[in-house]
Amino acid sequence: MHAVEEAIAIIDSYEPHDPPRIDVPPRAATGHGWSEAPRGLLYHRYELDAAGVIVDAKIVPPTSLNQRAIEQRLYEYVRRSIDSPVGELQHRCEQAIRNYDPCISCSTHFLRLEVDRA
């Protein structure tokens, strides 16, 4: 309850700034930054023209940044465990992927495992 009461007190004491924003004249520029997301770092880069219109944008989600580590982890695990039953291999590979990106498994059918032990 204390957190709820504290949140209400903060909301009740809020006073909007006047003016509510700062006017910034548009100009050509490039800006970028990182922010922490639930799955890792999220990178943004934006390029603006002289009128302040976005002419190029690049967003690199955590999945892209984690891809190399995911693949390395899978390689190491499968190399050590290749003689395990296919169902167990698939389950452990899915777990390894979810360690880096729990959203992959919900958004796609992300893993088809075929084992050729010949």
| Model-wide pTM > 0.85 | no
| Spans of all domains in the chain | 22-60, 64-107
Task: Give the 3-state secondary structure of residue 51.
Answer: coil
Count Cα atoms within 13 angstroms, Cβ side, for 101: 23
- In this predicted model, what pLDDT tens digit does every residue of 20-41 receive, in sequence order? 788 889 999 999 999 988 778 8
Residues 6 or more apart whose CB falls under 8 angstroms from that of 77 comprise: 92, 93, 96
- In this predicted model, what pLDDT tens digit does every residue of 47-64 receive, in sequence order? 999 999 999 999 998 888
Whole-angstrom distance, CA of residue 88 vs CA of residue 93: 8
